[in-house]
Amino acid sequence: MTTEDNTAQTVDLTNPDLYLNRDLSLLEFNWRVLQQALDKSVPLLERLNYMCISSTNLDEFFEVRVAGLIQQIEISDLYIEADQVTPQEALKLIKARAHEIVEEQYQVFNDVLLPELEQEGIQVLSRAKWTPEQTQWLHTYFLEEIAPILSPMGLDSAHPFPRLLNKSLNFIVSLIGKDAFGRNRGFAILQAPRALPRIIELPKEDDKTETHRFAFLSSIIHAFAEDLFYGMKVKGCYQFRVTRNSDLAIDTEETSDLLSAISDELTHRNYGDEVRLEIAHNCPALMVDFLRVQCGMEEDNVYLVQGPVNLSRIQAIYRLIDRPELKFKPFTQGLPGALSSNADIFTVIRKQDVLLHHPYQSFNPVIDLLKQAATDSTVLAIKQTLYRTGAKSPIVDALVAASKAGKEVTVVIELRARFDEAENVGLASRLQQAAVHVVYGIVGYKTHAKMLLILRRENNKLRQYVHLGTGNYHPSTSRIYTDYGLLTSDKQITEDVSHLFVQLTSLGKVPKTNKLLQAPFTLMDGLLSRIDREIANAQAGKAGHIIIKVNSLVEPTMIAAFYRASMAGVKVDLIIRGICCLKPGISGLSDNIHVRSVIGRFLEHTRIYYFENDGDHEVWAASADLMKRNLLRRVEACFPIQSKQLKQQIIDDLKIYLSDNVQAWNLAPDGRYQRIKPNKEALEICAQSTLLKQMAKTY
C-alpha cells in the first residue's frame, strides 16, 4: 500500500474543518467584484458599474441567503452545510463580513470614484455644492415632477407605520408644529415611487463643455421636503431602505397549477419578512431605534451608510453618459470557420460538430437555426428548454413562427428561475397563445438543462439536430456571459436529448442515455467515477490531471473526491468563479489542488470538466455547477466534446485561464483571495482579452 493510500485512509474527509462556509465564500466573490472598481486598468465608467453590481449582488444575497438562514432558525430546520456552521453562527459571521464590505463600498464610491468622475467632468452634486441657479432649477423640477407623485404619511393611531415595498427608497421626516387639524406630528414617512428616477441630470450650462452634472433624487427630496408639509417645519429628513425575503414560497407538491401559483406569489414578493435595514449615517440615534423597532430588526441588521441607500441605482449614470473612452471598447462577435460562409446551417451540422464560445463568438447561429427551422418545410418538430429568456426575444419569435407554420413545437419552461419568474410567466402565456405545447418540467426538480432539438425529414428518413449549452437562450446575456454551445447531429447524442424531452413532458421512465450525463441520475456518479479513474491512474504511476471550471463548488461529496485525488498525486486545477467550499494548499490533503477565480469584463459562466485519462483526454460541458441542487435536485445535461479539434480548443482555452495573471485570484486555505500579479519578467496574460483577440473584432 502506498503512502498516499495510508494518508487517504487516516484523513477524516467529513471533518468540518476541511470545508469553507458557502455564505462567506459568496461574500468574498462579491468583494472581488468590488475590487474591480479600484482597478485603474478598467475604464472609469466600467469601474462605477462594478461597484453597482457589487451592491446588486449584496441585495440578492440578503434577499435569498440571509432570508433563508433566518427562516431555518424560525422553523427549527437543523440542516447545516459540511462546515457544520449552524444558521445562528452563519448569521453572525455574515453580519461581520457584510458590514466590512458595505463600508468599503461607500469608501470606494465617495473617496475614489466620485473624485475621479469629477476629474472627467462628471459631477454628482451634493446639496452643499448646488449653485443658486441649480437650486432654483431643482426646486422647480421638484414641484413639477416629484411632489405631485409623493404621498407623505404622518404617523398616528389612524396612520400606523406602513408596510414598505422591498428595497424601495423611503424617508423618515421629523416634524415640528401642528397640521391643519391641530394635531401634533412627530414623524412622517415618505415613500418614493419606483417610477421616479433616482438620479437626475441638470441642464448643461455651456453647450461647448463636456461636463455632466447630476443630483440624487434623495438629495432633492431632502432639500425641499418642507414643501410637502405646509405650515410645519421639517426638523430632519433621512433616507432609509428595507430589504425583504424575496424567495417564493410555493409548495409544488400541493399546487395543481404552477403558473397560477407563481403569478399569485409574485404579488407577495415585495412584502416578505424584513432581513436588512439601511439608514443614512446622519440619522439621529432615536430615529434609528424607532425604525429598527418598527421593522423588527436586530442592531446587527442595521447598516448606516454614507450616501444613497441603494448604490445600484447609480448605474443610471453609465447609461446616461456617452463617453466611449470611459467604457470598454465595443467588439463584433466572431463566428466559427464552418459557419463563416452563407452555407445552409443544417448542412454544416450534418457534416461536423460546431462549437460556439460566447461572447467571443456570436449567438446568432442558434437564432438562425431556429429561424430556418420555423420556415423549413422538412422540419416537423421543435423542442426546447427555456430558463431565462424573456417573452420578447428572437428565440421566442422563432418558436411562435414555427408553431404558426404548423410545426409541432414543445417548450419546457422553468417558471421558478429566481427573479425571472415574472418574465417566464409572460413567456409561457405568449407561447400558449401561439398554440405551442408548454410544460413546466418535473415537480420538485428545476429544469436547468439547456437543450434544443429539431426533427427534420431528409430523404424519407427522420434526422435530429441538437444544440446543447452551458448558458441560457438569451441573446443579451450571450454578449456578457462566457458560455459554450454545441451544435451536433450525432445520432446517439440527439437520441439522448430526445429521451430527456420525453422524460420532461411525460410521466414514464426513459432508457439509459448513450453519451449524456444527466442530473439527478447519472451526472454525479459519472463525474465521481472519472475522478476515481484519475486516482487509479496516478496510483499506477501514470499522470493524473483534472481541470474543472464552474461557477460554484459546494457539494461535499465532490470536494472529498478532489481531496482524495490530491492525496493520490492527481493535479487538480479548479477555476471557480464564485462559491468554493474546498480548502486548497493544505499539506498532506490538498497541496495538489489549486483554486483560482477569474473576474473580468465578462461574467464567467462556462461549466467544463476535463480529465486527462492517461492521454485519452475527456472534455465535458454542462449546465451544472458542483452544488447539491444542481447534482441532485435539478434536471441538468452534461455532454461530451467528441471532436478532437473542438476538444483541443477547449483544452487550450482552459490553459489560457490557468495562465491568467491579470484578472485571476488565488484562493488561500482561510477562504480569502489574493490577486495574482505577473512577475516583472513575465508576460501579462488576460484570459478574456486573449480570447477576445482570437475570436472577435474590437474597435
Exposed, middle or buried: residue 307 (CB in 10 Å: 0-12, 13-18, 19+)? buried
Cell of 521: 441520475
Rounded Cα distance between 146 and 215, Å, is 13
How many Cβ atoms are within 10 Å of 20's Cβ, its own excluded? 24
3-state secondary structure 69-89: HHHHHHCCCCCCCCCCCCHHH
Cell of 279: 439608514
Give how far Cα 177 sits from Cα of 158, 228, 231, 285, 400, Å: 19, 14, 8, 22, 62
What lies within 8 Å, CB to CB, of 626 at 6+ separation is: 527, 548, 550, 552, 553, 554, 555, 558
Helices (H), 270-414: 285-294, 315-320, 345-351, 364-375, 394-404
Rounded Cα distance between 354 and 643, Å, is 9
Q: Which residue has the cell 447524442?
A: 493
Q: What one-character-per-residue DSSP string does 516-532 give?
A: -EEETTTHHHHHHHHHH
Bridge partners (DSSP) of residue 678 are none
3-state secondary structure 314-338: HHHHHHHCCCHHHCCCCEECECCHH
How many Cβ atoms are within 10 Å of 266's Cβ, its own excluded? 13
What lies within 8 Å, CB to CB, of 237 at 6+ separation is: 171, 172, 173, 174, 190, 221, 222, 225
DSSP assignment, residue 142?
Answer: I
Rounded Cα distance between 177 and 284, Å, is 19
Q: What are the φ/ψ torsions at residue 299 (nearest 5 degrees)?
A: -60, -35
Helices (H), 473-570: 491-505, 523-539, 556-567
Given the residues 448, 474, 499, 545, select the one marked as catalytic.
Answer: 448
Nearest residue to 294 via CA among 170, 151, 152, 149: 170
In the annotation, is 448 catalytic?
yes
Catalytic residues: 448
